[in-house]
Structure 1
């Protein structure tokens, strides 16, 4: 029996590849296995090669696997593009419809199964994916009834007959494969595990759920890969809690509407990717100078311009921190797991209101769309903090023709926040520089007072932020410190034991607060390492540059990947060995 394996399904986009992986993985998740999934897809609605790689394990892991045990192919292109990943003794299960051919040098057994023919016999070729799931489950020794709850959940709205037909497709696929492979010594059965009721979700769903749990009730947004699932989730859920989602004409409108809603006292967010973030820059400055809370989710993807809309990249660091003109307080947070994405989203709303400034929650495509096993969330951990804001407070009566001092000088830089409708809280709001009452002012003295006040807000945030750096410190003095952010965390964690087995002492720092940068914590770990390698999915080493600016060090080496694919553990392992 196996402790873990890797399974991949591939074909043309639009022929059920995603649903095949979804049904396969959901069933295994409900059996108690840990899973990590990554979907490679084309930037078009239909057509082009797509695949879904699922790693299944009896123990926790959060990285895509180096190799492949089972490949399910709906076309020859899938075999040609992916067979090199297969281990010795691996298996290709292919639809006999396209007369599959095993390439020279392929390290696997090929089984030709009539997915489409069996599906047509049951009434529709659309069920060929269920036949493929059945054939796969035969290899793993998973029973047809283990898929029953998943099939019912997905197809029950179409009627009991459809549910039964899909279950038949799974059984027929399983029976056919068992007949074909009866003389083969194949054993891909996984060791049994205890059923735990863990969740299996993408980062975008965790962010959306975090927004809901954190009190957000309005989301204006424009659809864009890989952020759209946040909007789609909240379209379904927000109305149940008195909220709403509006699809705007563009990202500029989305950002300004979120600012307006927050100004009115409603927790609001918008979500986008790099191109949308570029359009929001002027509005982010408006949030900063008017000291209006704002939460933006940036799901990084390949750039520049339209770039690689459906591929992995981490190249927005400099844009998020320095993209706006002028100088404003700004917070940039970077969760590194699906679980962190949930809790960090809630914290983003708290910080936006406490510091009255824009907060950018940054993800990347692998974290936003990659699916991970998640332990049950602890809703008792949820805390709502609104800072210097109490809409029920009775304010002192204003003198005639005098405005409320919304931007009053404050030692910590944070003035008391009021919203429209509060008695005695009338004030002026403008995007130009202003005095304490919000009235436009070009006075040099006032300019300095207001700039200094705003920029004082974040003086101690890095020290007060919960876990600005995730630390895996195994040694007081390390031969190597590996640094990363966002989705590379699981890959780095998998590589560390391999390097340790080679006799190296390795520590790991994952940056979770990009701005204001936690320089003291990062510096302390760098000082205790002989060499430092910064792992990031971009061409110019933006995180390494940020560390050099904030900390300064001649130890830094960079490992950059910018071909649109996430890091594989073996790539990081080999590169670290070479760099050392």
Structure 2
């Protein structure tokens, strides 16, 4: 028996690939397996090749696998594009409708199943996804009743007759492939899972859940890949808590509405991707100048312009930190797991109000849309801190305005909500004095700039970096952010087998940069490799700017739209060697 397995389904968009993956993985989750998925899809509603790959394990995993055990193919293109991933002895389950052919020189077994024909016999070709699911599930030798329950949940709302038809489709697919194979394949039998309850969600859902837990009651946003699922999640959830989602006409309206709602006292967020973030920049500057809290989620994708809207990239780092004109304080958080997407969203709302600044939560497409297992969340960790929000304001002397932008030792001025007695003040995007009145005084300007920017000197964030550093002086320190963390860890296992000692740092706070936290690990390492999905080494350059160490920092870059695989990181790290443990 084996402890992990990799499964993929491929076909044309719109023919059931997504629902097949969803039911298959839901059933595995119910059994207690750990899962990590990646969805490759085109930027169109229907048509174009798509595939979903799932790694299944009895232990926690945070990356997709290099190889593949089972490929379910709805068309020949799926075989042509994905067969190279199949390991020796791998299996293709394919529809006889297109006369499937596998590479002659490959050690691959083909099980041709009349997937479409069986579905049509049951009334509609739409059920071919269930035939295919039943066939691949049967090869694993897993209990069919668990899979059937997942099918019942998926189609229950459509009535008993539809459920029965789909269950019959699953059974026929299962029976057919078992007859071909002579029973479940012993080499694909998984060790039993622990059976414990696990959450199984995408990062966008975790962000949405974190927003609800943080007290967010309004989201203003414009749909865009890969951020739209946050909006869709909150459309369903916020009304249950007295909140709502407003779809605006564009991203400019979305962020300005969020700023206005936060000024009024409602915790509000918006979410977008790179193109939308560009449109928001002027308004983010307004939030910085008026010291109005606002939370913005940026789900990075391939750019520039429309670029690769459905593909992986991490190329918005410079834009998030330096994109606004002028200089304002902001905080940029980069979660690296499903759990962190939840907890960091809660923290983002608190930080935004504590420091009265814009907070950007940055993910990437793989983390946003890749469905992963995670342990049950600890809601006792959720604490709401609204910062220096004051009420019962004493009457001002001589009817003076409230000093909303008062100079304080901490740099954090008192904040009042509109309508608070004795709290009247000006709010303007031009430079202003302590009560908000416009001011062009040179002395005031410098003091206000120092006050606003000085807030970043006191920012305290939970775990600005994540560290796995078993060695005092490692051969390699590998640094990454976002979804690369689990892939780096798997590559490290391969490096350790070669006798290469490695430490790993994940940067979770991009701005203000955690220089003091990361510098000791860079100083200790013989060589530093920064892994990131962009062409210009934005994270590496950020490290060089804030920490130094240019002479020992190398980059591993990938910007073809695909996420890193462990073997890619491993091979690139090996390239820095000259003989045994002698690094260039």
Q: So what's the TM-score if we normalise by structure 1? A: 0.98
**What is the root-mean-square deviation in Å for CA atoms of aligned residues?**
1.0
Q: 1:220 to 1:184 in 2, by over 3 A?
A: closer
Work out whether residues 404 and 426 of structure 1, in 8 Å CA contact, stay in contact via their aligned partners in 2: yes
Single out whichever of 104-113 and 548-557 deviates more from structure 2: 104-113
CA distance in 2, matches of 1:10, 1:107: 20
Aligned-residue offset at 1:449: 1.2
Shifted more, 354-363 versus 493-502: the winner is 493-502
Aligned position for 1:101: 101
Cross-structure match for 1:547? 543
Distance 2:183 2:154 in 1: 35
Which residue, out of 551, 554, 575, partners 1:578?
575
Distance in 2, matches of 1:152 and 1:183, equals 25
Asked if structure 2 preserves the Cα contact closer than 8 Å seen for 1:469 and 1:511, the reply is yes
Mapping 1:88-237, distance limit 5 Å: 88-182=88-182, 187-237=187-237
- Quote the Cα distance in structure 2 between the aligned partners of 1:381 and 1:6: 34
After superposition, the C-alpha distances for 1:90-133 in whole angstroms (9 at most, x for unaligned) are 00000111111112323311111011111111111111001111
- Corresponding residue number in structure 1 for 2:458: 460
Q: Is contact 1:8-1:68 (8 Å) kept?
A: yes
Among 508, 511, 514, which residue is 2:510 paired with? Answer: 514
| Distance apart, 1:36 and its partner CA | 0.3
**Matched positions, count:** 576
Which residue of 523, 529, 549 corresponds with 1:527? 523
Whether 2:494 is the aligned partner of 1:487: answer no
2:30 matches 1:30: yes
Aligned-partner Cα distance in 2 for 1:107–1:228: 41
> Is 2:58 the partner of 1:58?
yes
Consecutive unaligned residues of structure 1, counting only runs of 5 or more, are none
Q: Structure 2 matches for 1:321-400, cutoff 5 A?
A: 321-390=321-390, 393-399=391-397
Structure 2 counterpart of 1:418: 416
Hey, what does 2:559 align to over in structure 1? 562
TM-score normalised by L of structure 2: 0.97
Q: Are the counterparts in 1 of residues 139 and 185 from structure 2 also a CA contact under 8 Å?
A: no
The aligned residue for residue 581 of structure 2 is none
Mean CA deviation greater in 24-33 or 105-114:
105-114
- Residue-by-residue CA offset, 1:37-86 (whole Å, 9 max, x unaligned): 00000011110000000000111110010000000000000000000000
**Inter-partner Cα distance in structure 2 for 1:536 and 1:105:** 35
Deviation (angstroms), 1:187: 3.2
Q: 1:402 matched to which residue of 2?
A: 400
Q: Distance in 2 between matches of 1:9 and 1:327?
A: 48
Kept after mapping to 1: 8 A contact 2:69/2:86: yes
- 1:523 aligned counterpart, secondary structure: helix
1:446 aligns with 2:448: no
Tell me: CA distance 1:370–1:239, structure 2 relative to 1, closer, same or farther (3 Å): same
- Determine the C-alpha separation between the residues in 2 that align with 1:532 and 1:519: 15
Alpha-carbon shift at residue 400 of structure 1 (Å): 5.3
Is residue 74 of structure 1 aligned with residue 70 of structure 2? Answer: no
Q: Is the 8 A contact 2:38 2:371 kept in 1?
A: yes
Which range moves more in the overlay, 183-192 or 447-456? 183-192
Q: Is the CA contact 2:292–2:357 (under 8 Å) kept in the aligned structure 1?
A: yes
Task: Give the superposition deviation at 1:184.
Answer: 9.2
Separation (CA, whole Å) in 2 of partners of 1:322 and 1:534: 21
Distance 1:92 1:572 in 2: 28
Q: How many angstroms does 1:194 deviate by? A: 2.3
How far apart, CA to CA, are the structure 1 residues paired with 2:439 and 2:149?
Answer: 65
The structural deviation recorded for 1:254 is 0.2
1:9-46 per-position Cα deviation (integer Å, ceiling 9, x unaligned) = 00001111111111101100110101000000001111
Structure 1 range deviating more: 137-146 or 44-53: 137-146
The Cα shift of 1:578 comes to: 0.8
CA contact (8 A) 1:139 1:187 kept: no
For 2:504, what is the secondary structure of its paired residue?
A: strand
Answering whether residue 278 of structure 2 is matched by residue 278 of structure 1, we say yes
